[in-house]
């Protein structure tokens, strides 16, 4: 069959090395198997440390920038334009990408399968010579004078990358820390600490650690008069001490500190308190280490100058989530840390976008997170859910102001997409003209939803009433929030409709207490943990909170507040909060294991104990749904 | 005695095509859908009197144009319109290997398989192919189809519903290089590239699912 398209691909390839040295036939065979890719500006083609694709690339149109993170700083290594080849070496070496690649402008790439090309490398010495020379000289085309960049990272650079990839990097701790005997007076110890500018001192006996005092002990025990300044240090020291081995990774050190609620970790020769002290890890040591700790990630976000860096940080945050969960750090704490990071990334994306537009926002505005982001329960990378409210403006100014914020929102959502937050499939994003409104318009919108609670509007109110302030003017957010409670107060039947909607999704136990699983489609025999177990709990918490005017979005926080407001129902709310924590942890671990949103759980792959654990969460769902039914007279609604 | 109600007897290749489309499970997951970007060159624009001269096509799947999954055939002509030769350059006795209309259709249906048809002004290309199918005593295509013209219009939410964008106009708007314009394969490739660019924009505002793309044909829905 005649193949005009492959002919055109071939005509293009033959203009550029190494294809220019190939005879017609192998070149045409290569052209026949090309895949054509399209990337929008700033879209990422592959990330540093990604597994190699099955294709390497040649730029057909546009330009691609290659970048690399070293010491957590992003370096643009090179810009490839028409006819330049990239992403080949990792495929030949069978190793992960040493550099990331992103479209520097709108770009079309030809992807060439490495499988075909291996054959060509073997059979055409001119091609392999070209490649060896370019790998060795670090230039894209060693046969011309165009030594404009370093296409292939050299060996020392590879090693450096490994070292800076830091989750597993060990903490640089302070060696030979200051110690003292247990009979020393507190005053003496304080003098030593002041002289050496340290915030802790280890108490030893025969060189073995028995306790530690920190600035905090002096403040809480001496400063308050509980102990005297002339007491011995043994009176106020924390004892016994937690001790650790050398080579503790940064992630581990962070986790240990959280687990034991201590600020200092003591390192001994073999990790037990029966051997000599060799060092101490302080806050300072951890914060100056390059790594995966939240504080450091926040700093990186602050310094980020583009979406790629934000994506890099977000990937590290995912690893952090994983480490936290593996170490069984309480889920509530984990969600807080990850939410902070998510929010910081969004804020940065907004700042970068404003800068890109080049003019300041015309009026006050507030960027809102809605849905699970608004509830601060997003542990995995999931969809974007956001909205924007801007200050009321006179009619004649409205179009101009709205256009500004739509442009801003589009830029922000594009950036968030690059970072790894998918576009919302239901288009609940500030870039949608429906969800980028003035304060007045939002109030009307909310009023309409509450007054006319048809199915579609209930769905929207569920998403939007969990809105959280992220960036901009806090007052706008508060005005809206107060207004929602006011409307609901005047129309309590609305809560009945919300209850009715959530009750359509009953507690997930079928006959004989079996799991209700999906009956058909792709997810057959999978349990939809998100809709069947988490959502009923989220919904119930929302309804009760709206009822009591509780200004909280997070489900766990809501239940905790409800326990205070309705002490007579403390037990039921508490069981819901616990069930929610377990389910959320389940979902997150599933998601991390399968690299997806964790929505579905494969029941057949669960251990017996996990099944029981899951099932134990269903009872509270049933109970809270029963109370909704009674409280809001659902049976009377038609 | 029921022979009166018996379905019309179609040849095996047609039944295979129909059952493949009807039993296709891929449409719900966008990444799995195979789109076939196609273009036909014809002797003219009259469904009854003009004929398909050639069909060119290339597959698009998971946001990539798969060059190896291509189709390009030329059809023997009884009808000949020398006016359009200037446009498509296919002469009655040109050098391309030509197939009979029937053989061309057999090969085309086998290639098309359960794919979704993607074209610019799809109704014209599908209409011309349907006329050929009818001449061979077969039914009309049952493949789902999408149209770059309508996808574009959905996004620009053009107040002027009547406006029809030509392939050249869209190529200009979306900055697609136009090589081999007016060859079936060349136009199919341009349409495929346009589609990738359109999807890039489209997915920012809409969830990517097939039904919505198909429904973009009806701007009022």
Q: What is the pLDDT of residue A59?
A: 92
Distance in angstroms (rounded) separating the CA atoms of residues B88 and B34: 27
Most confidently modeled range among A282-286, A542-546, B82-86? A542-546
Q: Kindly state whether residue B116 falls inside one of the protein's structural domains.
A: yes
* pTM listed for this prediction: 0.60
Contact A378, A334 (CB under 8 A): no
Of residues A225, A152, A149, A158, the one with CA closest to residue A186:
A225
Q: What is the DSSP letter of A454?
A: -
Q: What is the pLDDT of residue A17?
A: 82
Q: Which residue would you say has higher pLDDT here, B28 or B219?
A: B28
For range A593-608, the mean pLDDT: 76
Query: Using CB atoms, which residue from A5, A35, A61 is nearest to B70?
Result: A5
Beta strands A200-205 and A179-180, pairing class: parallel
Q: What is the pLDDT of residue A290?
A: 46
Exposed (0-12), middle (13-18) or buried (19+): which is A29, by Cβ within 10 Å? middle
Q: What is the pLDDT of residue A324?
A: 74
Confidence of residue B5 (pLDDT cuts 50, 70, 90): low
pLDDT digits (tens, 9 = 90+) for B155-176: 776 666 677 888 988 888 888 8
Mean pLDDT of chain B: 84
Q: Kindly state whether residue B11 falls inside one of the protein's structural domains.
A: no
Confidence of residue B210 (pLDDT cuts 50, 70, 90): confident
pLDDT digits (tens, 9 = 90+) for A261-299: 777 888 888 888 888 888 888 766 665 554 556 777 888
For range A414-427, the mean pLDDT: 89
pLDDT digits (tens, 9 = 90+) for A436-469: 999 999 999 999 999 888 888 888 888 898 999 9
Interface contact A106-B175, CB threshold 8 A: yes
Q: Kindly state whether residue B13 falls inside one of the protein's structural domains.
A: no
Q: Kindly state whether residue B4 falls inside one of the protein's structural domains.
A: no
Q: Which residue would you say has higher pLDDT here, A108 or A591?
A: A108
Set out the domains of chain A in order of their start, with CATH numbers: 4-164 (2.60.120.10), 174-288 (3.10.580.10), 294-491 (3.30.460.10), 497-636 (1.20.120)
Q: Kindly state whether residue B3 falls inside one of the protein's structural domains.
A: no
For range A506-521, the mean pLDDT: 58
pLDDT digits (tens, 9 = 90+) for A381-415: 678 899 999 999 999 999 999 999 999 999 999 99
Of residues B116, B107, B120, B42, the one with CA closest to residue B72:
B107
Mean pLDDT of chain A: 82
Q: What is the pLDDT of residue A167?
A: 41
* A98-102, A191-195, A257-261, B154-158: least confident range: A257-261
Q: What is the pLDDT of residue B26?
A: 85
Confidence of residue A341 (pLDDT cuts 50, 70, 90): confident
Q: What is the pLDDT of residue A152?
A: 38
How much of chain B exceeds pLDDT 70, in percent? 82
Distance in angstroms (rounded) separating the CA atoms of residues A514 and A529: 14
Q: Kindly state whether residue B132 falls inside one of the protein's structural domains.
A: yes
A36 contacts in B (CB within 8 Å)? Answer: 64-65, 67, 192-193, 196
pLDDT digits (tens, 9 = 90+) for B9-47: 889 999 999 999 999 888 888 888 999 999 999 988 888
B72 contacts in A (CB within 8 Å)? Answer: 1-5
Over 90: is that where the pLDDT of A69 sits?
no
Over 90: is that where the pLDDT of A93 sits?
no
Q: Which residue would you say has higher pLDDT here, A156 or A199?
A: A199
Mutate to test the interface with A, among B34, B61, B64, B180 (most CBs of A within 10 A): B64
Which residues are paired to A387 by β-bridges? A368
pLDDT digits (tens, 9 = 90+) for B98-153: 899 999 999 999 999 999 999 999 999 999 999 999 999 999 999 999 999 888 88
Q: What is the DSSP letter of A103?
A: E
Query: For residue A109, what are the contacts with CB-CB under 8 A and spacing of at least 6?
Result: A36, A37, A38, A39, A45, A57, A58, A59, A60, A64
Distance in angstroms (rounded) separating the CA atoms of residues A220 and A584: 37
Beta strands in A96-236 (DSSP E): 100-103, 107-113, 174-175, 179-180, 200-205, 208-214
Q: What is the pLDDT of residue A154?
A: 33
Q: Which residue would you say has higher pLDDT here, A98 or A289?
A: A98
Mutate to test the interface with B, among A15, A34, A36 (most CBs of B within 10 A): A36
Domain count, chain B: 1
Q: Kindly state whether residue B156 falls inside one of the protein's structural domains.
A: yes
The boundaries of the domain holding residue B104 are 26-215
Over 80: is that where the pLDDT of B92 sits?
no
Q: Kindly state whether residue B17 falls inside one of the protein's structural domains.
A: no
Q: What is the pLDDT of residue A37?
A: 94
CATH label of the domain that carries residue B183: 3.30.420.10
A426 contacts in B (CB within 8 Å)? Answer: 207
Over 90: is that where the pLDDT of A332 sits?
no
Interface contact A8-B72, CB threshold 8 A: no
Nearest CA in chain B to A422: B204
Residue A240, both tokens: 């016994």
Query: Using CB atoms, which residue from B177, B186, B204 is nearest to A423?
Result: B204
Q: What is the pLDDT of residue B18?
A: 93
Query: Using CB atoms, which residue from B63, B73, B206 is nearest to A427?
Result: B206
For range B49-76, the mean pLDDT: 93
């Amino acid at each position: 069959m005649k193949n005009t398209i492959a002919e055109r691909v071939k005509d293009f390839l033959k203009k550029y090395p190494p294809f220019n040295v190939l005879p017609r036939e192998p070149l045409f065979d290569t052209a026949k198997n090309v895949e054509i890719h399209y990337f929008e500006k700033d879209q990422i083609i592959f990330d540093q440390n990604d597994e190699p694709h099955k294709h390497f690339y040649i730029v057909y149109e546009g330009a691609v920038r290659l970048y690399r993170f070293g010491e957590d700083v992003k370096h643009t290594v090179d810009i490839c334009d028409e006819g330049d080849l990239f992403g080949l070496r990792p495929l030949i070496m069978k190793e992960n990408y040493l550099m990331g690649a992103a479209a520097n402008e709108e770009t079309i790439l030809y992807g060439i399968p490495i499988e075909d090309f291996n054959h060509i490398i073997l059979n055409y010495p001119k091609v392999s010579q070209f490649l060896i020379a370019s790998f060795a000289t670090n230039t894209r085309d060693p046969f011309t004078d165009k030594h404009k960049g370093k296409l292939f990272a050299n060996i020392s650079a590879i090693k450096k990358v490994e070292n800076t990839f830091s989750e597993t990097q060990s903490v640089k701790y302070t060696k030979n820390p200051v110690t003292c005997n247990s009979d020393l007076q507190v005053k003496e110890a304080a003098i030593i600490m002041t002289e050496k500018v340290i915030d802790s001192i280890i108490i030893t006996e025969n060189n073995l650690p028995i306790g530690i005092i920190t600035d905090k002990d002096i403040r809480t025990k001496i400063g308050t008069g509980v102990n005297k300044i002339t007491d011995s240090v043994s009176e106020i020291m924390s004892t016994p001490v937690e001790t650790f081995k050398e080579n503790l990774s940064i992630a581990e050190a962070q986790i240990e500190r959280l687990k034991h609620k201590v600020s200092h970790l003591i390192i001994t020769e073999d990790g037990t308190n029966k051997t000599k002290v060799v060092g101490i890890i302080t806050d300072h040591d951890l914060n100056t280490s390059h790594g995966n700790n939240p504080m450091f990630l926040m700093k990186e976000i602050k310094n980020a100058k583009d979406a790629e860096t934000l994506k890099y940080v977000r990937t590290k945050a995912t690893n952090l989530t994983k480490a936290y969960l593996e170490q069984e750090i309480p889920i509530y704490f984990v969600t807080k840390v990850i939410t902070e990071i998510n929010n910081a990334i969004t804020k940065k994306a907004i700042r970068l976008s404003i800068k890109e537009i080049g003019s300041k926002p015309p009026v006050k505005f507030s960027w809102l997170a809605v849905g699970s982001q608004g509830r601060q329960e997003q542990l995995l990378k999931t969809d974007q859910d956001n909205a924007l409210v801007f200050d009321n403006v006179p009619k004649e100014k409205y179009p101009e102001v709205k256009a500004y914020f739509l442009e801003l929102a589009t830029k922000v959502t594009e950036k968030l997409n690059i970072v790894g937050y998918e576009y919302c499939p239901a288009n609940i994003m500030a870039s949608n003209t429906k969800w980028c409104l003035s304060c007045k318009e939002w109030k009307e919108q909310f009023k309409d939803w509450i007054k006319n609670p048809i199915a579609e509007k209930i769905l929207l109110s569920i998403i939007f009433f969990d809105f959280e302030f992220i960036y901009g003017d806090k007052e706008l957010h508060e005005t809206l929030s107060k207004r929602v409670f006011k409307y609901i107060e005047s129309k309590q039947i609305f809560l009945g409709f919300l209850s009715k909607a959530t009750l359509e999704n009953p507690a997930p136990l079928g006959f004989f207490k079996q799991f209700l699983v999906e009956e058909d489609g792709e997810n057959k025999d999978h349990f939809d943990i998100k809709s069947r177990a988490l959502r009923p709990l989220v919904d119930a918490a929302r309804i009760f909170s709206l009822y009591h005017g509780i200004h909280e979005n997070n489900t766990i926080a809501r239940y905790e507040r409800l326990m205070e407001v309705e002490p007579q129902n403390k037990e039921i709310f508490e069981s819901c909060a616990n069930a929610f924590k377990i389910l959320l942890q389940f979902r997150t671990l599933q998601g991390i294991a399968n690299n997806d949103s964790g929505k579905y759980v494969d029941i057949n792959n669960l251990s017996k104990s996990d099944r029981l654990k899951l099932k134990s969460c269903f009872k509270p769902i049933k109970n809270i749904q029963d109370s909704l039914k009674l409280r809001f007279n659902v049976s009377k609604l038609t | 005695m029921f022979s009166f109600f018996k379905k019309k007897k179609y040849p095996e290749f047609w039944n295979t095509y129909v059952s493949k489309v009807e039993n296709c499970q891929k449409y719900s997951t966008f990444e799995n859908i195979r789109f076939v970007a196609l273009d036909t060159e014809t002797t003219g624009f009259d469904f009854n009197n003009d004929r398909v001269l050639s069909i060119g096509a290339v597959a698009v799947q998971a946001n990539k144009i798969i060059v190896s999954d291509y189709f390009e055939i030329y059809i023997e002509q009884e009808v000949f319109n020398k006016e359009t030769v200037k446009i498509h350059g296919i002469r009655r006795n040109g050098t391309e290997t030509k197939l009979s209309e029937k053989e061309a259709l057999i090969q085309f249906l086998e290639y098309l398989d359960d794919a979704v048809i993607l074209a610019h002004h799809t109704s014209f290309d599908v209409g011309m192919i349907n006329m050929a199918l009818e001449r061979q005593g077969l039914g009309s295509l049952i493949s789902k189809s999408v149209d770059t013209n309508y996808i574009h219009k959905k996004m620009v939410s053009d107040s002027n519903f009547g406006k029809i964008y030509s392939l050249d106009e869209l190529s200009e708007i979306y900055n697609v290089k136009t090589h081999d314009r007016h060859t079936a394969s060349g136009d199919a490739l341009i349409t495929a590239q346009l589609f990738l660019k359109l999807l890039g924009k489209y997915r920012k505002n809409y969830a990517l699912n097939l039904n919505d793309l198909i429904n973009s044909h009806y701007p009022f829905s």
